[in-house]
Structure 1
Amino acid sequence: MRKALLLVNVGTPDRPDKPSVKRFLKPFLNDKYVIDIPWLARKLLVNGIIIPFRLNNSTELYKRLWTSKGSPLLYHQNSLRDKLNHHSKGEYTVYSAMRYGNPSVEKALLEIKKNKHTEIKVLPMYPQYATSTTLSTIKNIESLSKKLKIEADISFVDQFYNHPKFIEAFTTNILAKQPNSYDHVIFSYHGLPIRQVEKLHPQHSGAQCICEKQMPDYGSKCYKATCYQTTRLLAAASNIDSKNYSVSFQSRLSKNWLTPFTDELLMKLLADGKKKILVVAPAFVTDCLETIVEISYEYEQDFLKAGGEKLTLVESLNDSDHWVKAITNIIN
Structure 2
Amino acid sequence: MIGVLLINLGTPDAPDAASVRRYLKEFLSDRRVVEIPQIIWQPILRGAVLTTRPAKSAEAYKLVWREDGSPLAAITRAQAMALKNAFGPGVLVDYAMRYGRPAIADGIAALMEKGCDRILLAPLYPQYCAATTATANDAAFTALAAMRAQPAIRTLPPYYADPVYIDALAASIREGLAALDFEPDALLASFHGMPERTRKLGDPYHDHCRETARLLEEALGRPIMTVFQSRFGRAKWLEPATDTTLAELPKRGVRSVALVCPGFSADCIETLEEIAIRGRETFLEAGGTAFAYIPCLNDSADGNEMLRVILARELAGWLPAT
- Fold similarity call, TM over 0.5: yes
**1:165 counterpart residue number:** 164
**CA offsets, 1:79-120, max 9 Å, x none?**
111110132232521010000111111211111111121211
Give the partner amino acid of 1:248: V
Counterpart check, 1:250 vs 2:229: yes
Counterpart check, 1:119 vs 2:118: yes
**1:128 counterpart residue number:** 127
Partners of 1:286 and 1:6 in 2: CA distance: 16
Q: Is the 8 A contact 2:18 2:54 kept in 1?
A: no
**2:318 counterpart residue number:** none
Partners of 1:294 and 1:234 in 2: CA distance: 23
CA RMSD of superposed structures (Å): 1.4
Once the two structures are TM-superposed, the CA of residue 268 in structure 1 deviates from its matched residue by 2.1
Q: Is the 8 A contact 1:9 1:97 kept in 2?
A: yes
**1:296 counterpart residue number:** 276
Q: Is the 8 A contact 2:15 2:61 kept in 1?
A: yes
Once the two structures are TM-superposed, the CA of residue 181 in structure 1 deviates from its matched residue by 2.3
Counterpart check, 1:45 vs 2:24: no
1:144 alignment partner, SS class: helix
**Given the two structures, how large is their TM-score scaled by the length of structure 2?**
0.92
Q: What does 1:16-27 align with in structure 2 at a 5 Å threshold?
A: 16-27=15-26
Quick one: percent identity of the two aligned structures?
31
- Find 1:261's aligned residue among 225, 231, 241: 241
**1:66 counterpart residue number:** 65
Give the partner amino acid of 2:219: A
Count of residue correspondences = 308
Counterpart check, 1:139 vs 2:138: yes
Q: What does 1:1-332 align with in structure 2 at a 5 Å threshold?
A: 2-90=1-89, 92-178=91-177, 181-200=183-202, 222-240=204-222, 242=223, 245-253=224-232, 254=234, 256-331=236-311, 332=313
Once the two structures are TM-superposed, the CA of residue 150 in structure 1 deviates from its matched residue by 4.8
Give the partner amino acid of 1:67: R
Structure 1 unaligned segments of length 5 or more: list them: 202-221
Once the two structures are TM-superposed, the CA of residue 194 in structure 1 deviates from its matched residue by 0.9
Q: Is the 8 A contact 1:110 1:148 kept in 2?
A: no
Structure 2 unaligned segments of length 5 or more: list them: 314-322
Partners of 2:72 and 2:288 in 1: CA distance: 29
**CA offsets, 1:112-167, max 9 Å, x none?**
11112121111101111111111111111101112134521111113111111111
Q: Which moved more, 1:19-28 or 1:321-330?
A: 321-330
Q: Is the 8 A contact 1:187 1:248 kept in 2?
A: yes
Give the partner amino acid of 2:184: Y
Partners of 1:68 and 1:114 in 2: CA distance: 30
Once the two structures are TM-superposed, the CA of residue 44 in structure 1 deviates from its matched residue by 1.3
Closer, same or farther: CA 255–299 of 1 in aligned 2, 3 Å: farther
**CA offsets, 1:232-272, max 9 Å, x none?**
111211221x3xx2111000013500011011111222111
Structure 1 moving runs of 4+ over 4 Å: none
**Given the two structures, how large is their TM-score scaled by the length of structure 1?**
0.89
